[in-house]
Amino acid sequence: MKDYEYELDKSTGEMIKKYVDMINNDGFKKVIKMWNYRIIKRASENEPECYYSLNEVFYEKDGTLMAFSDADQVVGSSREEIIEVLEMMLADAKKDLTVLTEADFKV
Protein backbone atom coordinates (compact mmCIF):
# COMPACT_ATOMS: atom_id res chain seq x y z
CA MET A 1 0.00 0.00 0.00
CA LYS A 2 1.42 3.38 -0.98
CA ASP A 3 0.17 6.73 0.22
CA TYR A 4 1.24 10.35 0.47
CA GLU A 5 1.24 12.71 3.41
CA TYR A 6 2.23 16.37 3.52
CA GLU A 7 4.27 18.16 6.15
CA LEU A 8 5.35 21.78 6.52
CA ASP A 9 9.13 22.28 6.40
CA LYS A 10 9.64 24.76 9.21
CA SER A 11 13.01 25.95 7.87
CA THR A 12 11.73 26.88 4.38
CA GLY A 13 7.98 27.22 4.87
CA GLU A 14 7.41 24.78 2.00
CA MET A 15 5.08 21.80 1.98
CA ILE A 16 7.00 18.54 1.63
CA LYS A 17 5.30 15.53 0.12
CA LYS A 18 6.06 12.43 2.18
CA TYR A 19 5.97 9.10 0.38
CA VAL A 20 4.73 6.45 2.77
CA ASP A 21 5.31 2.81 1.88
CA MET A 22 3.42 0.43 4.14
CA ILE A 23 4.52 -2.81 2.45
CA ASN A 24 7.35 -4.96 3.79
CA ASN A 25 8.10 -8.65 3.13
CA ASP A 26 8.00 -9.34 6.88
CA GLY A 27 4.68 -7.54 7.40
CA PHE A 28 3.81 -3.90 7.62
CA LYS A 29 6.49 -1.32 8.25
CA LYS A 30 6.03 2.39 7.72
CA VAL A 31 8.89 3.95 5.76
CA ILE A 32 8.72 7.70 5.18
CA LYS A 33 10.64 9.44 2.43
CA MET A 34 10.10 13.18 2.16
CA TRP A 35 10.42 15.06 -1.12
CA ASN A 36 9.41 18.23 -2.90
CA TYR A 37 10.36 20.18 -6.01
CA ARG A 38 13.31 22.56 -5.72
CA ILE A 39 15.22 24.79 -8.13
CA ILE A 40 18.85 23.67 -8.45
CA LYS A 41 21.74 25.64 -10.00
CA ARG A 42 23.55 23.10 -12.19
CA ALA A 43 26.85 23.06 -14.04
CA SER A 44 26.58 22.65 -17.80
CA GLU A 45 28.63 19.79 -19.28
CA ASN A 46 29.80 21.52 -22.46
CA GLU A 47 29.78 25.18 -21.47
CA PRO A 48 31.32 27.22 -18.68
CA GLU A 49 27.91 28.66 -17.82
CA CYS A 50 25.42 27.13 -15.43
CA TYR A 51 21.72 26.52 -15.86
CA TYR A 52 18.82 26.12 -13.47
CA SER A 53 16.49 23.14 -13.23
CA LEU A 54 13.44 22.10 -11.28
CA ASN A 55 13.94 18.64 -9.79
CA GLU A 56 12.48 16.37 -7.17
CA VAL A 57 14.61 16.65 -4.02
CA PHE A 58 14.59 13.90 -1.41
CA TYR A 59 15.29 14.31 2.30
CA GLU A 60 16.42 12.08 5.13
CA LYS A 61 13.99 11.54 8.00
CA ASP A 62 15.68 14.36 9.94
CA GLY A 63 15.16 16.77 7.01
CA THR A 64 18.73 16.85 5.66
CA LEU A 65 19.21 16.67 1.90
CA MET A 66 19.63 13.15 0.55
CA ALA A 67 19.38 13.23 -3.27
CA PHE A 68 17.70 14.79 -6.29
CA SER A 69 16.19 13.26 -9.41
CA ASP A 70 18.28 12.96 -12.57
CA ALA A 71 15.40 14.12 -14.73
CA ASP A 72 15.19 17.90 -15.01
CA GLN A 73 11.47 18.74 -14.99
CA VAL A 74 11.93 22.31 -16.26
CA VAL A 75 15.15 24.12 -17.24
CA GLY A 76 16.02 27.78 -17.66
CA SER A 77 18.79 30.35 -17.50
CA SER A 78 17.59 31.72 -14.14
CA ARG A 79 15.27 31.02 -11.22
CA GLU A 80 12.90 33.65 -12.63
CA GLU A 81 12.75 31.93 -16.03
CA ILE A 82 11.81 28.62 -14.37
CA ILE A 83 8.95 30.37 -12.56
CA GLU A 84 7.78 32.09 -15.79
CA VAL A 85 7.75 28.75 -17.64
CA LEU A 86 5.79 27.09 -14.84
CA GLU A 87 3.24 29.91 -14.83
CA MET A 88 2.85 29.60 -18.61
CA MET A 89 2.48 25.82 -18.33
CA LEU A 90 -0.21 26.16 -15.66
CA ALA A 91 -2.09 28.79 -17.69
CA ASP A 92 -1.98 26.57 -20.79
CA ALA A 93 -3.10 23.50 -18.81
CA LYS A 94 -6.10 25.41 -17.45
CA LYS A 95 -7.31 26.35 -20.95
CA ASP A 96 -10.40 24.50 -22.09
CA LEU A 97 -8.68 22.62 -24.91
CA THR A 98 -9.06 19.05 -26.09
CA VAL A 99 -6.67 16.65 -24.41
CA LEU A 100 -4.31 15.29 -27.07
CA THR A 101 -3.28 11.68 -27.57
CA GLU A 102 -0.22 10.26 -29.32
CA ALA A 103 -2.46 9.29 -32.23
CA ASP A 104 -3.15 12.98 -32.91
CA PHE A 105 0.44 13.34 -34.12
CA LYS A 106 0.63 10.35 -36.43
CA VAL A 107 0.37 11.14 -40.12
* 33 class by beta-carbon count within 10 Å (0-12 exposed, 13-18 middle, 19+ buried): middle
pLDDT digits (tens, 9 = 90+) for 41-71: 998 887 778 999 999 998 887 888 889 998 9
In 1-107, alpha helices (H): 79-94
Which alpha helices (DSSP H) does 22-78 contain, by range? none
Q: Write down the pLDDT at residue 25.
A: 53
Report the half-sphere exposure of 12 (CA within 13 A, side-chain side). Answer: 12
Q: What percent of the chain has pLDDT over 70?
A: 69
What is the per-residue pLDDT for 19? 58
Domain ranges of the chain: 2-97
Residue type, position 20, single letter: V
This prediction has a pTM of: 0.63
Q: Report the pLDDT value the prediction gives residue 48, as an integer from 0 to 100.
A: 78
Segment 77-86 mean pLDDT: 95
